[in-house]
């Protein structure tokens, strides 16, 4: 007689039933549809960041595409300062994109037990 293997946490390793597999496949399809919708939302959602009191503005989509860069003509005269302001604006924009992506994912993805912290 074969012994049952006990996994971590005292659960048996056994083949999932048909209903469990159907539920899992349904959950997978639901998650894939939600991810596709979320990716589309990332394409249309934008964030705007600025540096130097608004001397440099950067607009970036949540899919990491730069849409626009605006700057005051006076800032271009000092190339080192202009470079620093561009870097600061882009870094701020990327940080804002990360935060917005997390917010959108929390709002739009179905909650799956035990998998909330993956994104």
- What six digits make up the tokens of 26? 């349904």
Q: Are 42 and 35 in contact (CB under 8 A)?
A: no
Residue 30 has pLDDT above 60, yes or no: yes
Q: What does DSSP assign to residue 55? A: T
Sheet containing 46-51, strands listed edge to edge, beginning at the edge strand earlier in sequence: 46-51, 56-61, 66-71
In angstroms, the CA 108 to CA 57 distance is: 29
Q: Per-residue pLDDT averaged across 14-40, rounded?
A: 84
Residue 101 has pLDDT above 90, yes or no: yes
Given this model, what pLDDT does residue 4 score?
56
Q: pLDDT over 70 for what percent of the chain?
A: 80
Given this model, what pLDDT does residue 43 score?
94
Indicate the burial class of 94 (C-beta count within 10 angstroms; 0-12, 13-18, 19 or more).
Answer: middle
Given this structure, which CATH class describes domain 16-109? alpha beta
pLDDT band at 93 (very low <50, low <70, confident <90, very high): very high
* Least confident piece of the model among 65-69, 99-103, 111-115: 111-115
In angstroms, the CA 34 to CA 109 distance is: 6
Q: Which residue has better confidence, 96 or 8? A: 96
- What six digits make up the tokens of 51? 């540096």
Strands 46-51 and 56-61: antiparallel
């Amino acid at each position: 007689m074969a012994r049952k293997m006990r996994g971590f946490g005292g659960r048996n390793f056994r083949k999932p039933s048909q209903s469990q597999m159907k539920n899992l496949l349904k959950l997978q399809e639901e998650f894939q549809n939600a991810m596709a919708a979320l990716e589309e939302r990332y394409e249309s959602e934008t964030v705007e960041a600025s540096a130097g009191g608004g001397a440099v503005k950067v607009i970036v989509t949540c899919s990491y595409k730069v849409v626009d860069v605006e700057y005051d003509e006076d800032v271009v005269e000092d190339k080192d300062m202009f470079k620093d302001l561009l870097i600061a604006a882009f870094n701020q924009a990327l940080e804002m994109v990360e935060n917005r992506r997390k917010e959108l994912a929390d709002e739009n993805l179905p909650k799956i037990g035990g998998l909330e912290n993956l994104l």
